[in-house]
Amino acid sequence: MPNKSSTITPFGGQSETAPLRIVLMKHVRDAFESEAAIDRQWCELNFLERPDWGRAIDEYDRLVELLRSLGVHVQFVAPGADTGMDSMYVHDSSIVCDMGAILCNMGKAARNREPAAMETAYRALGVPVIGRIEHPGTVEGGDVAWLDAHTLAVAEGYRTNAEGIRQLRSLLGNAIDDLIVVPSPHFRGPGDVFHLMSILSPVDRDLAVVYSPLMVVRFREYLLARGIQLVEVPEEEYDSMGCNVLTVAPRRCVVLDGNPVTRQRLQAAGVEVHAYDGKEISWKGSGGITCLTRPLHRAPVA
């Protein structure tokens, strides 16, 4: 708990695209812990390959420097006992709104200690925790996306269930006007990493990167009716996380390197694109730049 003289860290900004001022991250060094911990966990957690410890640290440090160069202040979550390798993907275990933070209840059981670690981080920063999703409800942050300051889209699927969505709506109260429930496809089944933000990344109030083949028609038509232009990720760039985009300001974003078609399409739409190398920290764990970051404070757009 912060003492009375502690400075409260700014928080809020119900947006995926407003200028990103502060982000929470958990360093891969603290998430992976050791070579021995990697050996114990990587298969069980469904990593595609065993990450290389040294290369992962180098990739992560370079990513942090890139974000700082783009004007983003990076705060780090402290190491937490038994939170596991997946805990570097800090986006999933909480949601931030203008009232404070909501702690998630993870659909992936191996990650159920992560929300408590995020609570400790929020308390230390002076950010109020306004509630948590309780069993039998489940919500993961990757299934949640702000379409505007008062409209939230939430996917219902293997990681986020109807009871979790009901609790989330109740906790948000008057902070939102509309909560749009988006049905998730079965796709590769409950063991796969699939979130709403696997197929949707807003880049501006009227622009989003999408993977339409896995998007239900009703939701895709809803986005178009809102006047949102869709930048389509080609099939060959879906698994390499072409749709996983972090917007640091309207039409200014960070992407995982290696998706040239998506990058070209973004640039053609007037987007400034910055890429990072993430073979060890993103590709092997199936978690892109949005997964690695929990936006804490976004400034209002004039």
Domain ranges in the chain? 20-298
pLDDT value, residue 193:
81
Angle (CA) 150 185 278, round 5°: 80
Closest CA to 160 of 247, 277, 152: 152
What are the start-end ranges of the E strands in the chain?
Answer: 20-25, 73-76, 94-97, 100-103, 129-132, 144-148, 151-156, 178-183, 200-204, 207-210, 229-232, 245-249, 252-256, 272-276, 294-298
Residue 302 has pLDDT above 70, yes or no: no
Calculate mean pLDDT across residues 159-176: 97
Which residues make Cβ contacts (< 8 Å) with residue 186, sequence separation at least 6? Answer: none
Backbone angles phi, psi at 263, to 5 degrees: -60, -45
Topology of domain 20-298 in CATH is L-arginine/glycine Amidinotransferase; Chain A (3.75.10)
Q: Could you report the per-residue pLDDT of 169-216, keeping only the tens digit for each?
A: 999 999 999 999 999 999 998 888 899 999 999 999 999 999 999 999
Instruction: Pick the range with the lowest mean pLDDT from 50-54, 69-73, 83-87, 192-196.
Output: 192-196
Concatenated DSSP letters of 105-120: B-SSGGGTTHHHHHHH
Q: Sorting pLDDT into bands at 50, 70 and 90, what band is 87?
A: very high
